[in-house]
Structure 1
Amino acid sequence: MDLQFGSYRLKRAERLLLGPEGPVELSARSFDILAMLLGRPDEVIGKSELFDAVWPGVVVEENTLQVHISALRKTLDPGMIMTVHGRGYKYAGPRPALAQASNGAGEPASQTAAEKSHKPSIAVLPFDNMSGDPEQGYFSDGITEDIIAELGRFKEFLVIARNSSFQFRGKANDVAEVAKRLGVQYVVEGSVRKIGNRVRVTVQLIDAASTAHVWGEHYDRELTDIFAIQDEITQMIAARLARQARTAIASYTRARPTDNMSAYDFYLRALQLAATYDTVREAEPFLRQAVRLDPRFAAAHAMLGFVESIKFYWTNSDHDYLHAGLEMAKTALQLDPDEAYGHLAAGFALLYLHRFKQAEISLDRAVALNPNDPFILSIRALLLNYTSRPEEGLREIHEAQRRDPFALGWYEDFRGLILTTAGRYREATACYAKMETMTSWSLAYLTICHFELGEIKQAQDTLAKLKAIWPELGIDEIADNEVGYFEDPAVCNRYGAILKSVNARMT
């Protein structure tokens, strides 16, 4: 049952924490630690016991536990988590009590005003390129993406991702209509003019309901000041929304990502290419130029690590790309331990190297650093799926799509995979039916769905399409490549056996 403690509610079945303002962002490990402390409110729980329960069978550094305890203290009211020096940690807030499951009217009693409330939601539309040179579009796009990413670090807000907000590029947009289509309360518009070593940025924050200007500013500075401009824009927007979020926005200024503006220029070009599945590999030469010009450019190393790892998808599951990507991610994190995409790149590589516990630590950290990035949420959804938690994975995919509602193909692919694991085969086939282009792994899981539904002819037709993608591989290799990434080997064996059974009926 749910646990009520003070103004918070721990929904154990849903693995959800509700606070005074609604759902609270919490990593899976932090949730487990909190649940353990609340379950034994009169006891001091030792660090070793927490490690054994939350990271079973995994050796992790002690500061990993401290990071999660610190995250809980920032999330909860002061004094709720107590350190008992030399012994461990203890819950010290209002005594937890079991909460009623329903209110007798068919609606969960836990659906309080806090649960029904929503975070302030915002979309940053692509800034107009006012330089007079269409080739400079990557620069204004990059500035927009950077502001989206920085706003995404504030867990108090829901921020729409780049792919969806960029659907409105170059259009005479009605702010109210844009807000309605994206499901947000606030919209940011702006423009960028880059001429030589000068940059001019204008920006305005608009309340979509009233179309009133909440805040606006005009910047005319040296190009080297672009990071300070972005930080100021982020801070001013966050400050304007903080009152509605009822949270204090701490002074936040990121470290300057690079002092080399040429390296930053290459990085912005790479960001534009990395935004879509079809062009992500084309980002590599620009990223390599960026790290060559500035070997300490952590964000460029991180993105390069991810691009290197994702080559694994386009090859015959060549693990060398994963190992190389992991090393690049480690370089990024040595330069900046708080680089979210460094943790994403590490988590992605570790996931497909079957190092699931380490992958979860990396992806939890990536989400904690940028809880609004839909791709980070999506990769963690895959981790949850591959570790036999498909229902949690579906909730994560829902959160990702809420932040990027126009990226339908990508999410239907992932959702179909996870629904297959959950045994919801008919729903999975409906997801795959929405996809214009099927990936090899989606064909594998669609084959499984048809087989489980007794649709043998459809299963054979789908498997034939998959075999045409990998004509040089036998069915055993295809099975290993497409369905061999679950932590539980029994799942891999069962799915592999289905593909082989369908193949045998074709010959």
Structure 2
Amino acid sequence: MTEKEAASQNTPSIPDFRLGSWLVCPKNQTISTQTLHIELEPKMMKMLCVLAEADGNVVARTDLFEKVWGNQVVGENALNTCISALRNHLKKVDGKNYIKAKPKLGYQLTQPINWKIESDNDSTITAKKITNHQKWPVLLSAVVIVIVIGWFFKNYFATKKVNEDNNNPAKPYSIAVLPIENFSHTSEYDFMAKGLTEQIIHQLATLSQFRVISRTSSSSFSNQQLSAKEIAKKLKVDYLIEGSLQQDQEFVVTIQLIDTRTDTHIWSKIFRSPRDRLFEFQQKIGDAITSSFETDSKDNQKRIIIHHPREKGAYENYLKGQAYASLNTKDSLNKALVSYSKALDIAPDYALANAGYALVSLLLYQNGQLKPEVALPQASKAIDLALSTEPNLAEAYAAKGLLKTYERSYEAAEKNFQQALSINPRLTKALHNYGFLLWSQFRFQKALTYFEKALEHNPLSPMTNFAISDTLFNLGNIESSIQHFNYCLEILPENSACMLGLARVYRSLNNLKKEDALLEKVQKLLKPDDIYLSFATILNLEAKGLWKEANQVLIRIDPYYSDVYTYRLQQLMFNWMHKNKHTKKLIKQQNWKKSERHLLLAGADAFWNGHCKLAIEFYQPVYESSPRKLRLIDDLLVGVSHELNLAYCYEETGDIIRKKHALKSALVNIQKFINKKYPMPGIYFALSRYYQLKGNYRRAKQIYQDNNLADWSWSILLKTDPVFNSITIK
């Protein structure tokens, strides 16, 4: 069977039909007119058929995901990309918009649909739409069938094991564990309720037949007055677990398992345990839940068994650490470190506590709370202790992957993340941080894949939602980036990372009014000295031409904890604008061997000061080993194109062949970011520089003027830029 034949079997079995000017043939995977014939990808055809069957009504995004992708793990961008490509195909014939997006609802077809039905003799006739009168018998039959089926399933699920899909037993059960509520008389046991929730999630997630939503996402519904169905819809799950904890002489937990599709409580059970048997208690609850589903016995045998020590207080402190760590604030991370330390004082060989201690140490370093000479050795020691006790602990390998990422040992980092995911493919810490590793290496397309997988299991993760939006921007998918940032802020209204990310996008578009509005909101959420807010403020001031004010913010930043590349670039730019003699002194102070990307700054400074031979010495090794580092959008957006700088220096040193190669490569990269709907001044500034280097001065000047670059703040660099010395652009 060919790939096309296999794909066609998955296409909805509906007849040919006409959509506006198009003849749609689902079986052949084609759309055609008298002048055009286009073969669609299977998913695209399935999408078109689902929209067509709605007969002009809106189809929800969740329904499109379910009907087009089924069990396949994809992110929001897959749907956006598919809709965009299908829309572009359909408008080729008459320029009409065939697919309309309904914000927060879904999509609908806007052009008339005429169905073509195959007759017995293989000829086709056009079918009329069913009239309201004709619909009544059909609807009445459907209602009766639904009532009967609903009655059957309600009774079936109340007495039998859950079987989500008889026709597809391999389909994973989608389930979310809502935060267990603390009904005891003291808040001391809040941590117990949170930790218990976390451990039940972990136990279910180790079975391949469950798709379990992370606690970060499920906990966002704590104290919200939403029905089970509303929560399930937001989390895209079929089953919910909710419960409560009370404590008298022993712990008492009540657990309910709910099928949200039928709004049926499958069961409600009470579990009791003395304080010193908490782990067995949690395991008993998890076993009760899994036994309610039809699972593969082999899968159960392969389940990851986590060992907790029996020493009194160790497991309790570990649960406290997990609860604090999940909040992911600077204060809560410090409390988590203390809790893990207490657990390790009681049981030094507690593998999970060591892994948690290591990960939190690294997060505190990332947030500027621990210096690297403290955090990195501290994390390394804890990881080694964890793996010496539990050689197959996925959490330890995930922490080691992040450690190696910060040590810039990227190959070792990747191996450790892969090891973690081979043990537990659904470990969101490993999925997200593997994406972060790839992002750190500017391998944005692959990074996006892992961020989307992480989001599948943790749909309300603040950082993963930010990471996807930011990665889309780095790939040049501006519209998709804006859409996902807005989606992030819709589901997480106080996510400062998504606010700053979206502010960055608007700054790149020179839409400073929208950027200001977002920064005003962030200022209410973060402390004034927050490093991310500080850099956003600097760039905002620069975008307004307030260079002195921006420099005043810059000098207050401690580069020890900041994005050192961005910090040094800002320092150097102030000098480049004025040909400041202090630049050479600044260059001598830096250790340019720290990373390849820092070599680019030395190369840029040598270029700006007319030392092309020295610039090539810095630039060329990076260009040969990691050319993508010379092409990042962040540099282009502030008027810096390392690849064009290098092309200029090749010309100055008489290496015309390399100059042509660098120019050709730079143009391909610049064109990737050109978007007429979302024009970015920095990209057009780079394009103007490109034509200047090509000797097409008229074209360079036209681009500069047509895009009003004189009003763009970073065009101040033009005054001292060696590329523009031979021509007056303005």
SS at match of 1:242: coil
Contact 1:309 1:326 in 2 (8 A): no
Matched, 1:214 2:266: yes
2:271 and 2:285 in contact (8 A); partners too: no
Shift of 1:380: 1.6
Distance 1:489 1:107, change over 3 A: closer
| Aligned equivalents of 1:317, 1:446: Cα separation in 2 | 28
Shift of 1:129: 1.6
1:426 Cα deviation (Å)? 4.7
Aligned counterpart, 2:566: 479
Rounded Cα–Cα distance in structure 2 between residues aligned with 1:341 and 1:470: 39
Query: 1:227 pairs with 279, 283, 287, which one?
Result: 279
How far is 1:134 from its partner?
Answer: 2.5
The structure-2 alpha-carbon separation of the partners of 1:318 and 1:419, relative to structure 1 and needing over 3 Å to count, comes to farther
Q: Which has the larger radius of gyration?
A: 2
Contact 2:240 2:259 in 1 (8 A): yes
Query: Partner of 1:471: helix, strand, or coil?
Result: coil
Structure 1 letter corresponding to 2:404: L
Over residues 461-490 of structure 1, what are the superposed CA-to-partner deviations in whole Å (9 max), with x where a residue is unaligned?
A: 662579747734679934279997989744
What are the within-5 Å matches in structure 2 for residues 17-416 of structure 1? 104-105=29-30, 106-108=40-42, 116-117=70-71, 118-170=171-223, 174-196=227-249, 198-243=250-295, 248-250=299-301, 252=303, 254-278=305-329, 279-315=332-368, 318-320=371-373, 321-407=375-461, 409-416=462-469
Q: CA deviation at 1:369?
A: 3.3
After the TM superposition, which of the residue ranges 177-186 and 413-422 deviates more from structure 2? 413-422
Give the counterpart letter for 2:29 in structure 1.
G
Q: Distance in 2 between matches of 1:482 and 1:255?
A: 47
- The 8 Å contact of residues 377 and 400 in structure 1, kept in 2 or not, is answered as yes
Cα distance, 1:414–1:293 mapped onto 2, change above 3 Å? same
Cα distance change, pair 442–384 in 1 and its aligned pair in 2 (3 A):
farther
Equivalent residue for 1:40? none
* Preserved contact between residue 380 and residue 396 of structure 1 (Cα < 8 Å): yes
Q: Counterpart amino acid of 1:149?
A: H
Q: Encode CA deviations 1:17-73: one digit per residue, 9 max, x unaligned.
A: xxxxxxxxxxxxxxxxxxxxxxxxxxxxxxxxxxxxxxxxxxxxxxxxxxxxxxxxx
CA positional deviation for 1:390: 2.1
Give unpaired runs (5+ residues) of structure 1: 10-101
Give per-residue Cα distances to partners, 1:90-131, cap 9 Å, x unaligned: xxxxxxxxxxxx952434279899963452100111112232
What SS class does the counterpart of residue 192 from structure 1 fall into?
strand
- Please report how far the alpha carbon of residue 397 of structure 1 lies from its aligned counterpart in structure 2 after TM superposition: 2.1
Higher relative contact order (CA 8 A, sep 6+): 1
Going from structure 1 to structure 2, the CA distance change for 1:109 and 1:134 (only over 3 Å counts) comes to closer
Is the CA contact 2:482–2:505 (under 8 Å) kept in the aligned structure 1? no
Deviations 1:399-443 (A, max 9, x none): 322322333x42332123322332324544555566656559966
CA distance in 2 between partners of 1:317 and 1:481 (Å): 21
Distance 1:438 1:273 in 2: 20
Quote the Cα distance in structure 2 between the aligned partners of 1:115 and 1:422.
24
1:298 Cα deviation from its structure 2 partner: 0.9
Q: Is the 8 A contact 2:405 2:437 kept in 1?
A: yes
The RMSD of aligned alpha carbons is 4.2
Deviation at 1:494, TM superposition (A): 4.3
**In structure 2, distance between residues paired with 1:137 and 1:362:** 34
User: CA separation in 2, counterparts of 1:357 and 1:399?
Assistant: 21
Cα distance change on mapping 1:168 and 1:417 into 2, 3 Å: closer
Contact 1:188 1:203 in 2 (8 A): yes
- CA distance in 2 between partners of 1:412 and 1:227 (Å): 33
Match of 1:227, SS state, is helix
The amino acid of 2:392's aligned partner reads: D
Greater helix percent: which structure? 2
Please list, as runs of the form range in 1=range in 2, the aligned pairs for 1:438-453 lying within 5 A after superposition: 438=496, 450=507
Do residues 417 (structure 1) and 371 (structure 2) align? no
1:350 shift after superposition: 0.8
Q: Per the alignment, in what secondary structure is the counterpart of residue 202 of structure 1?
A: strand
- TM-superposed deviation, 1:346: 0.7
| Aligned counterpart, 1:18 | none
Q: Distance in 1 between matches of 2:216 and 2:628?
A: 34
Aligned-pair identity in percent equals 22
Q: Which amino acid aligns with 1:259?
A: R
Distance 1:310 1:448, change over 3 A: same
Q: Deviations over 1:191-237 (max 9, x none)?
A: 222335x2222223221112333344322232232222222322332
CA distance in 1, matches of 2:208, 2:181: 27
Q: Which blocks of at least 5 consecutive residues in structure 2 are unaligned?
A: 8-26, 31-39, 47-65, 72-170, 516-534, 542-549, 571-594, 598-621, 641-712, 718-730
* 1:348, distance to aligned residue in structure 2 (A): 0.8
TM-score, normalised via structure 2 length: 0.48
C-alpha distance 211-284 of structure 1, shift in aligned 2 (>3 A): same
2:369 & 2:268 partners in 1: Cα distance?
A: 51
Q: What amino acid does structure 2 have at the position aligned with 1:229?
A: F
Q: Report deviation, 1:160.
A: 0.9
Shift of the 366–296 alpha-carbon distance from structure 1 to 2, 3 Å rule, reads: same
Cα gap change, 1:300 to 1:499, in 2 (>3 Å): farther
CA apart distance, 1:162 = 0.7
Question: What is the CA-CA distance between 1:158 and the residue it aligns to?
Answer: 1.0
Structure 2 CA distance for partners of 1:482 and 1:390, relative to 1, 3 Å: farther
The secondary structure found in structure 1 opposite 2:327 is coil
CA distance in 2, matches of 1:335, 1:437: 38
Secondary structure at 2:261's aligned position in 1? coil
